[in-house]
Amino acid sequence: MKKLLNVLLVFVMAFTLVACSSDEEVSTTGLSNDNENKEFTKYVDSMIDEVFDETDYSLNYFLADKEKFGYSDDVLYEQSIPTFEDFKVSQEQGDAVYEKIKSFKRDDLSEQQQLTYDVLLDAYEPVKDIPLEDLYYLTTNDLDYNHGAPGNIPFNFYFYTFRNEQDVKSYLNLLETTESYFGELIAFEQVRQDKGFGMQPMHIAKTKEVVETYVSGDHSFLIDSFKTRIDEVDGISKKDKAAYIKKNEELVNGTLQTAYTNLATGLDNLQVKALDQGMAQYANGKELFAKQIKDTTGMDIEEYRTYVNDMATHYLNEAQENYSNISFASSVYTKLKDPNEVLEDLSKKTKDDFPAVRDLEYEMEIVPESMRKILGNTAAAYFVSPIDEVHTKERMILNGDFTGEDFSTIAHEGYPGHMYQKQYYKEQEQPLIRSLLDYSGYTEGWANYVQFFTTKYALKPEAAKANDLAERWQYCLILQADLEINYDGKTKEEMMESLKIFGDIDEIYSTLAVSPGIFAEYYVGGQKFIDLYEKYDDVDPKKFHEAILKVGPAPFSVVEEYVEKALK
* Predicted pLDDT at 372: 79
Mean pLDDT of the chain: 92
What is the C-alpha to C-alpha distance for residues 515 and 144, in angstroms, rounded to an integer? 9
Q: Which residue has the higher pLDDT, 341 or 201?
A: 201
Nearest to 525 by CA among 486, 474, 479: 479
Q: Above pLDDT 90, what percent of the chain?
A: 83
Nearest to 240 by CA among 291, 164, 330: 164
- Cα angle value 418/135/558 (rounded, 5°): 40
Report pTM: 0.93
Average pLDDT over residues 332-345: 91
The values of phi and psi at residue 437, to 5°, are: -85, 140
CB 260 within 8 A of CB 253: no
* Predicted pLDDT at 338: 86
Q: Where are the alpha helices (DSSP H) in 37-110?
A: 38-46, 59-62, 84-103
DSSP for 466-522 reads HHHHHHHHHHHHHHHHHHHHHTS---HHHHHHHHGGGS-HHHHHHHHHHSTTTTIII
The gap from C-alpha 286 to its chain's centroid, in whole angstroms, comes to 23
* Predicted pLDDT at 377: 67
What is the C-alpha to C-alpha distance for residues 441 and 429, in angstroms, rounded to an integer? 22
Return the SS3 of 125: coil
Report domain extents, the chain: 39-279
Omega prior to 555 cis, within 30 of 0: no
* Each residue's pLDDT tens digit, 92-126: 999 999 999 999 999 999 999 999 999 999 999 99
- Cα angle value 33/392/236 (rounded, 5°): 130
* Predicted pLDDT at 335: 92
Q: Is 467 exposed, middle or buried (0-12, 13-18, 19+ CB in 10 A)?
A: buried
Highest mean pLDDT among 153-157, 344-348, 398-402, 539-543: 539-543
CB 290 within 8 A of CB 301: yes
* Predicted pLDDT at 30: 59
Given a cut of 60, whether residue 12 has pLDDT beyond it is no
- Confidence class of residue 11 from pLDDT cuts 50, 70 and 90? very low
Q: How far apart, in Å, do the first and last CA atoms of the chain sit?
A: 33
In this predicted structure, which of 28-32, 38-42, 290-294, 432-436 has the lowest mean pLDDT?
Answer: 28-32
* Each residue's pLDDT tens digit, 486-496: 999 999 999 99
Given a cut of 90, whether residue 2 has pLDDT beyond it is no
Q: Which residue has the higher pLDDT, 231 or 27?
A: 231
Given a cut of 50, whether residue 26 has pLDDT beyond it is no
What is the C-alpha to C-alpha distance for residues 274 and 197, in angstroms, rounded to an integer? 7
* Each residue's pLDDT tens digit, 142-163: 999 988 999 999 999 999 999 9
- Confidence class of residue 523 from pLDDT cuts 50, 70 and 90? very high
The count of other CB atoms within 10 Å of the CB of residue 90 is 15
- Confidence class of residue 325 from pLDDT cuts 50, 70 and 90? very high
Helix, strand, coil fractions of the chain, as percent rounded to 5: 60, 5, 35
